[in-house]
């Protein structure tokens, strides 16, 4: 706020939402980091943010210049890399076809993001950066968003990228029931106003909307209008992005070569090779032995050896990735909220973070408003292990000697989490028998069986542990897992109070309002405890120190546009 | 044997039903205890040198029984002379002691870990180190013996029991019964045990009892084939013919006449199957569908930790592997000795 006149000019030009944000920051209600993050979401330009005193925060930790080019996802550095060369990246094989609208796994997200581009990019720091959209702006209440589309961008086959491509992609997402956009936009909500402007008319106000068309919503990259529904990227390799898919075998790997016509400039690397592995330990060995140069993602379980390897750079991103221990609220042993809360008090969360993640996680307090979100309230009471409290809650519920089967998906640390939960619960007299199930039978039988289909997940087990990937906003967690009739609502939680609080959160604009409404959600979640959320863990990726400039999102969308061999 | 059609207890038709053959009269009320008496006398005498009487079938069966008792004693004597049997038994006895002693023998709680001692290397505090959750590997290996020594023998017994019944039926009846059952058994034998076990457990859901049932039933066809072969040669012997002539029912002949004479192969089969069951259960646990965490089951321990070997944490994997190996080898040593002695 050095230049008073410039500041005033920005204030006058700002929309009401932007103004609210600027004033909150000026009044000291908001940390600089959060101000920048929210300002970007509301479409304030980097220059405007800088003028208001938020400049320093726009530079990602790696000291990169990625903001300006608009393609970096954060952390990458353009300095000191040689031209030319190939980078080999280890990944698990994609478990779903490379159909951007329908893919569901990290490996597919990463592959698709090399060719197709998003309107908006969410960096590892959760700040938004322009992609195929140069800027965006909400109306007064945040129910209508106007995106200005980048001009002069071409598809790899030479045809120009237009606003029609954006509209048709959004229609496809609505049709496919995209988990982030469901209930936010409908068919016909998105229209092209002119050749450079697309207008999104939302079903209600949403202050976080740009996140929903960013890398955070992994299924939302813009694909050509001409593409037939369901065509996979490998069948029709034609994106706007920096890399062209030249070879793909779903079991072996993928090769990408530089797209010389890319609007973002010339990438230092000539090509990028993705090598697929079935298991994490094979990837770890490959990276340690120099057979590959980077790994898309690894977990502390099994990848512990990479954390202290002097030849590697580990990228650790605070994320909203978490596990939910759902408990059926409509029937069965956990119907009484006191019983659910009792279980929540038996967890030794600090020990879990230490044992399972060697500290690379944050303790959760049974809310999905992760500490990484700017509107998370740090004063929310935690849930430290308290067996006496658990016992008295059980007593109050009139429960004596509870026995249940705890279903756990065979994925990373989840079976170990189940074991630790079991041990804590036993101290309060709750007997949990752990049943570890492979992904197929877990998702299909225990978590959200297809039948009975209405309401969704009504065939779910009484209690289980399911994994949730990172999102830049909690909307998907709140919408799918907790709203009445939500598509992933395995606890069958149905609370009109919660639904109203969620609506209020989506409609809340401005810092104070968002923080307050998010806190209201957390309070309801703690009181009703439909879920236990023990921790939020960091997303971990690593690359050889021979390379520099690699960046990634917590959804596996690796960005190597700035990467190259160290000069 | 000597009753007549006109004996007092029978009243009615003096001619008798032509279908009702004379053997039926063994159980006639007038002379009820001939067979039982003979059995009883010989049993109580326990005379090892009873010659097999050439006379009536009743004495033959009785003599066979006595001979078996003598043979059993002799078998045991011969077994003890074999060092591999003694070694095998000692190792198994050690693991049985661990299984019974369980947590009493374990130096630490096998289920509770120290979050700050994960993957501690073997040393004075933790002799065999700790696992990824900071639990004592030694204590887990010791208490892990219980699961495997409970589940493996029970499933082997189920497999052998079902297999024996099948084998007896197939071998005794032969003809179409044998043909049909044999084809079914062969079809089962062509399926790899681990794969079928995996499928079954995925469908039925994992629990100790499903493991026992699935492994037991998967072993049954293998046992059935062995037993059938033994029964085939046995059924042609005179004592079986005699029992048949005597009018004994098929189940009686199968289970009371033939079965005692094929116990040798069945006992060998049982020990061999226990060895295989240990292996199969470890495999299924390793694949993650068998025994559930936090059980200190050896196969499960290996499965949970093997990915850590590349990080240098070999101890949570090597020790349970050694435990499985030692137990399987020990059981096989016993099985080998038994086979050597019984088929002499």
- The neighbouring-strand residues paired with A324 are A466
**For residue A221, which of A319, A72, A144, A114 has the smallest C-alpha distance?**
A114
A68 touches chain B (CB under 8 A): no
Tokens at A197, concatenated: 């402007």
Residues 6+ apart with CB under 8 A from A18: A39, A42, A43, A44
H/E element, A39: helix A32-41
Nearest CA in chain B to A422: B294
The C-alpha atoms of residue B295 and residue B301 are separated, in whole angstroms, by: 8
Contacts of A305 in chain B (CB under 8 A): 310-312
Instruction: Give residue A79's pLDDT.
Output: 63
- Least trusted range by pLDDT, from A66-70, A153-157, B2-6: A66-70
- Torsion of Cα atoms, B58 then B63 then B68 then B73, to 10°: 150
The residue count for chain B: 344
Per-residue pLDDT of chain B (344 residues; tens, 9 = 90+): 333 334 333 333 333 343 334 333 333 333 433 333 334 344 444 444 444 445 455 566 677 678 778 877 888 888 899 999 999 999 999 999 999 998 889 999 999 999 889 899 999 999 999 999 999 999 999 999 988 899 899 999 999 999 999 999 999 998 999 999 999 999 988 888 888 888 888 788 777 888 899 899 989 999 999 999 999 989 889 999 999 899 999 999 999 999 988 988 899 999 999 999 998 888 888 887 777 889 898 999 998 888 888 788 999 999 999 999 999 999 999 999 998 888 76
User: Which residue do the tokens 């003890």 mark?
Assistant: B80
Helix (H) or strand (E) holding B304: helix B298-305
Mutate to test the interface with A, among B110, B113, B115 (most CBs of A within 10 A): B115
Q: Mean pLDDT throughout A458-486?
A: 91
Angle between helices B57-80 and B83-101 (to 10 degrees): 90
Residue of A285, A419, A464, A465 to mutate, interface with B, max B Cβ within 10 Å: A419
Other Cβ atoms closer than 10 A to A229: 10
Q: Are A434 and A415 in contact (CB under 8 A)?
A: yes
When pLDDT is averaged across residues A513-540 and rounded to a whole number, the result is: 95
* Contacts within 8 Å (CB) and 24+ apart, A133-139: A133/A198, A133/A213, A134/A70, A135/A43, A135/A45, A136/A43, A136/A210, A137/A15, A137/A42, A137/A43, A138/A15, A138/A17, A138/A42, A138/A43, A138/A207, A138/A209, A138/A509, A139/A15
Decide if A17 contacts A508 (C-beta within 8 A).
no
Measured between CA atoms, the residue of chain A closest to residue B115 is: A355
Q: Do the Cβ atoms of A355 and B292 come within 8 Å?
A: no
Mutate to test the interface with A, among B293, B305, B317 (most CBs of A within 10 A): B293
Choose between B174 and A198: higher pLDDT. A198
Average pLDDT taken over every residue of chain A: 88
Q: CB distance from A279 to chain B under 8 Å?
A: yes
Query: How are beta strands A271-277 and A190-194 bridged, if at all?
Result: unpaired
Cβ contact, residue pair A418, B293, below 8 Å: yes
Hey, of B207, B208, B289, B294, which one would you mutate to test binding to chain A, going by the most A CBs within 10 A of its CB?
B294
- Among B110, B118, B119, B132, most A C-beta atoms within 10 A, so best to mutate, is B132
Contacts A301 to B, Cβ<8 Å: 132, 307
The answer to whether the Cβ–Cβ distance between A416 and B132 falls below 8 Å is: yes
- In this complex, the residue of B116, B293, B307 whose CB is nearest that of residue A280 is B307
Q: Which two tokens stand for residue A485?
A: 């009739």
- A69-86 average pLDDT score: 63
**pLDDT tens for residues A259-277?**
999 998 899 999 999 999 9
pLDDT score, position A78: 54
CB spacing of B293 vs A419 below 8 angstroms: yes
Return the CA Rg of chain A: 23
Residue A560 tokens read as 């190597």
CA-to-CA distance for B126 and B111, rounded, in angstroms?
14
Calculate how close chain A gets to B95, using CA atoms only, in Å: 25
CB B40: neighbour CB atoms within 10 A?
12
Q: Enumerate the residues of chain B whose CB falls inside 8 A of the CB of residue A422.
A: 294
Q: Which residues are bridge partners to A190 per DSSP? A: A200
Rounded Cα distance between A320 and A536, Å, is: 6
Out of A137-141, A150-154, B272-276, which region has the weakest mean confidence (pLDDT)?
A137-141
The Cα A135–Cα A125 span in angstroms is 19
- What pLDDT is stored for residue A77 in this prediction? 52
Confidence of residue A241 (pLDDT cuts 50, 70, 90): very high
CA atoms in the 13 A half-sphere facing the CB of A454: 0
| CB < 8 Å to B118, chain A | 355, 358
Task: Give dist(CA A219, CA A179) in Å, integer.
Answer: 9
Taking Cα atoms as reference points, which of B137, B269, B285 lies closest to residue B211? Answer: B285
Query: Which residues of chain B lie closer than 8 angstroms to A350, CB-CB?
Result: 115
Give the per-residue pLDDT at B33.
39
The rounded Cα A540 to chain-centroid distance in angstroms is 14
Closest-CA residue of A relative to B111 is A423
Cβ-based neighbours of A489, under 8 Å, separated by 6 or more: A455, A456, A457, A480, A481, A482, A483
Q: Does B292 sit within 8 Å of A410, measured CB to CB?
A: no
* Among A206, A492, A148, A459, residue whose Cα is nearest residue A340: A492
Nearest CB to A305; choose among B293, B304, B311: B311
Taking CB atoms and an 8 Å cutoff, what residues of chain B touch A410?
288
Of A66, A96, A123, the residue nearest A439 (C-alpha): A96
pLDDT bin (cut points 50, 70, 90) of residue A42 is confident
As a whole-number percent, the residues of chain A with pLDDT over 90 amount to 62
Angle ∠(B131,B133,B137) on CA atoms, nearest 5: 30
Q: Which of A153-167, A446-460, B87-101 has the lowest mean pLDDT?
A: A446-460
Nearest CA to A418 among A480, A355, A482, A362?
Answer: A355
| pLDDT higher than threshold 60 for residue A64 | no
With an 8 Å Cβ cutoff, are B288 and A288 in contact? no
pLDDT band for A362, please (50, 70, 90 cuts). Answer: very high
Measured CA distances, B239 to A75, A326, B231, B244 (Å): 88, 67, 13, 9
Which among B202, B294, B310 has the least Cβ separation from residue A434? B294
Compute the radius of gyration of chain B from its Cα atoms: 26
Contacts with B, A 405-434, CB within 8 Å:
410, 415-416, 418-420, 422-423, 433-434
The confidence score (pLDDT) of residue A508 equals 83
Reference B119, options B134, B138, B140; nearest CA is B134
Distance CA B200, CA B217 (A): 11
- In the 8-state DSSP scheme, what is residue B196? H
- Mapping DSSP onto H, E and C, the string for A472-487 reads CCCHHHHHHHHCCCCC
Say how far residue A323 (Cα) sits from the centre of its chain: 13
Asked if A441 lies within 8 A of B202 by C-beta distance, the reply is yes
Is residue A55's pLDDT more than 50? no
Count CB pairs under 8 A between chains A and B: 66
Instruction: For residue A307, give the chain B residue with the closest CA.
Output: B311
Cα–Cα distance, A330 to A340 (Å, whole number)? 12
**How far apart, in whole angstroms, are the C-alpha atoms of residue B27 and residue A225?**
92
A305 with B289: Cβ contact below 8 A = no
Separation between Cα atoms, residue A129 and residue A358, nearest integer Å: 32
Of residues A374 and A76, more confidence is placed in A374
Residues of B in contact with A433 (CB under 8 A): 292
Q: How far is B141 from chain A (nearest CA, A)?
A: 17
Per-residue pLDDT tens over the stretch A482-498: 999 988 999 999 999 99
The first and second tokens of residue A181, run together, are 């956009």
Contact A423/B294, CB-based, under 8 Å?
yes
In this complex, do B112 and A423 lie within 8 Å of one another by their Cβ atoms?
yes
Give the per-residue pLDDT at A388: 97
Cα–Cα distance measured from residue A359 to residue A352, given in angstroms and rounded to the nearest whole number? 9
The DSSP line for A268-332 is S-SEEEEEEESSHHHHHHHHHTTSSSEEEEE-HHHHHHHHT-TTEEEEEE----EEEEEE-SSSS
Q: How confident is the model at residue A3 (pLDDT cuts 50, 70, 90)?
A: low
Q: Are A168 and A225 in contact, with CB atoms under 8 Å apart?
A: yes
Contacts of A435 in chain B (CB under 8 A): 205-207, 292
Task: Specify the pLDDT at position B103.
Answer: 82
List the single best residue of A278, A302, A422 to mutate versus B (max B Cβ within 10 A): A302
CA distance B105 to chain A (A): 21
DSSP per residue over B127-192, as a string?
Answer: TT-B-TTS-BHHHHHHHHHHHHHHHHHHHHHHHHHHHHHHHHHHHHH-HHHHHHHHHHHHHHHTS-
Average pLDDT over residues A101-115: 91
Is the pLDDT confidence value at A70 over 70? Answer: no
The more confident residue out of A374 and B52 is A374
Q: Is the dihedral of CA B228, B232, B237, B241 positive or negative?
A: positive
Residue A516 has pLDDT above 90, yes or no: yes
Residue of B111, B112, B311 lying closest to A304 (CB–CB):
B311
Measured from the Cβ of residue B335, the count of other Cβ atoms closer than 10 Å reads 22
Cα distance between residue A120 and residue A131, in whole Å: 5
Structural tokens at position B134: 């900071």
């Amino acid at each position: 706020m050095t230049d008073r006149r410039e500041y005033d000019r920005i204030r006058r030009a700002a929309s009401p939402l932007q103004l609210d944000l600027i004033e909150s920051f000026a009044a000291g209600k908001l940390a600089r980091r959060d101000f920048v993050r929210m300002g970007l979401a509301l479409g304030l330009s980097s220059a405007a943010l800088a003028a208001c005193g938020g400049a320093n925060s726009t530079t990602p930790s790696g000291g990169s210049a990625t903001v300006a080019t608009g393609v970096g996802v954060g952390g990458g550095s353009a300095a000191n890399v040689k031209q030319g060369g190939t980078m080999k990246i280890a990944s698990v094989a994609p478990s779903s076809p490379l159909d951007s609208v329908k893919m569901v796994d990290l490996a597919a997200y990463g592959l698709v993001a090399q060719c197709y581009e998003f309107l908006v990019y969410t960096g590892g720091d959760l700040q938004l950066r322009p992609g195929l959209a140069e800027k965006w702006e909400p109306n007064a209440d945040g129910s209508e968003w106007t995106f200005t589309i980048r001009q002069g961008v071409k598809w790899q086959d030479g045809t120009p990228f237009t606003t029609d491509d954006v509209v048709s992609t959004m229609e496809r997402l609505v049709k496919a029931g995209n988990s982030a956009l469901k209930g936010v936009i409908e068919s016909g909500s998105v229209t092209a106003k002119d050749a450079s402007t697309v207008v999104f008319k939302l079903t209600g106000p949403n202050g976080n909307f740009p996140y929903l068309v960013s890398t955070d919503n992994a299924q939302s990259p813009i694909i050509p209008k001409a593409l037939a529904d369901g065509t996979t990227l490998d069948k029709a390799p034609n994106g706007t992005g920096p890399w062209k898919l030249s070879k793909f075998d779903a079991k072996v790997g993928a090769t990408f070569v530089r797209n010389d016509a890319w609007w973002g400039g010339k990438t230092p690397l000539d090509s990028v090779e993705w090598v697929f592995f079935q298991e994490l330990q094979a990837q770890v060995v490959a990276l340690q032995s120099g057979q590959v140069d980077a790994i898309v993602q690894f977990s502390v379980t099994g990848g512990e050896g990479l954390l202290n390897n002097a030849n590697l750079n580990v990228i650790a991103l605070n994320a909203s990735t978490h596990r939910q221990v759902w408990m059926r609220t409509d029937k069965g042993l956990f119907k009484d909220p006191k019983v659910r809360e009792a279980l929540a008090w038996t967890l030794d969360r600090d020990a879990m973070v230490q044992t399972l993640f060697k500290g690379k996680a944050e303790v959760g307090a049974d809310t999905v408003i992760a500490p990484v979100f700017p509107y998370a309230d740090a004063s929310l009471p935690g849930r430290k292990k308290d067996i006496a409290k658990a016992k008295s809650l059980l007593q109050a519920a009139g429960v004596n000697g509870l026995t249940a089967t705890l279903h756990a998906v065979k994925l990373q640390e989840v079976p170990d989490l189940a074991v630790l939960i079991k041990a804590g619960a036993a101290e309060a007299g709750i007997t949990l028998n752990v049943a570890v199930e492979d992904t197929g039978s877990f998702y299909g039988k225990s978590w959200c069986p297809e039948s009975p289909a209405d309401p969704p997940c009504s065939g779910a087990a009484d209690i289980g542990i399911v994994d949730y990937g990172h999102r830049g906003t909690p909307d998907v967690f709140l919408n799918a897992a907790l709203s009445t009739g939500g598509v992933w609502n395995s606890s069958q939680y149905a609370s009109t109070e919660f639904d109203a609080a969620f609506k209020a959160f989506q409609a809340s604009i401005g810092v104070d309002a968002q923080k307050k409404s998010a806190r209201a959600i957390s309070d309801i979640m703690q009181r009703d405890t439909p879920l236990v959320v023990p921790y939020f863990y960091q997303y971990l990726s690593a690359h050889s120190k021979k390379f520099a400039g690699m960046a990634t999102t917590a959804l596996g969308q690796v960005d190597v546009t700035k990467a190259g061999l160290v000069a | 044997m000597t009753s007549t059609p006109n004996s007092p207890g029978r009243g009615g038709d003096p001619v008798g039903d032509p279908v009702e053959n004379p053997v039926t009269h063994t159980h006639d009320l007038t002379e009820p205890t001939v067979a039982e008496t003979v059995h009883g006398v010989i049993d109580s005498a326990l005379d090892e040198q009873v010659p097999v009487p050439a006379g009536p079938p009743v004495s033959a069966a009785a003599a066979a029984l006595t001979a078996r008792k003598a043979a059993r004693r002799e078998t045991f004597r011969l077994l003890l002379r074999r060092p591999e049997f003694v070694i095998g038994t000692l190792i198994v006895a050690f693991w049985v002691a661990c299984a019974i002693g369980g947590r009493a023998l374990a130096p630490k709680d096998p289920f509770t870990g120290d979050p700050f001692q994960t993957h501690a290397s073997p040393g004075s505090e933790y002799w065999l180190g700790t696992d990824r959750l900071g639990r004592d590997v030694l204590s887990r290996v010791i208490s892990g013996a219980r699961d495997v020594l409970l589940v493996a023998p029970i499933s082997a017994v189920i497999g052998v029991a079902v297999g024996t019944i099948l084998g007896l039926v197939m071998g005794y009846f032969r003809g179409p019964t044998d043909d049909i059952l044999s084809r079914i058994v062969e079809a089962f034998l062509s399926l790899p045990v681990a794969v079928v076990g995996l499928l079954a457990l995925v469908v039925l859901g994992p629990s100790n009892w499903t493991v026992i049932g699935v492994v037991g039933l998967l072993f049954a066809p293998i046992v059935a084939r062995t037993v059938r072969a033994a029964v085939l040669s046995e059924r042609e012997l005179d004592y079986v013919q005699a029992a048949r002539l005597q009018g004994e029912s098929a189940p009686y002949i199968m289970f009371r006449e033939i079965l005692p004479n094929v116990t040798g192969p069945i006992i060998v089969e049982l020990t061999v199957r226990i060895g295989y069951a240990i292996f199969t259960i470890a495999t299924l646990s390793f694949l993650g569908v068998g025994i559930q965490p936090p059980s200190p089951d050896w196969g499960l321990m290996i499965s949970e930790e093997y990915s850590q070997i590349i990080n240098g944490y070999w101890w949570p994997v090597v020790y349970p592997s050694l435990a499985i190996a030692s137990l399987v080898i020990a059981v096989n040593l016993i099985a080998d000795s038994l086979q050597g002695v019984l088929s002499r």
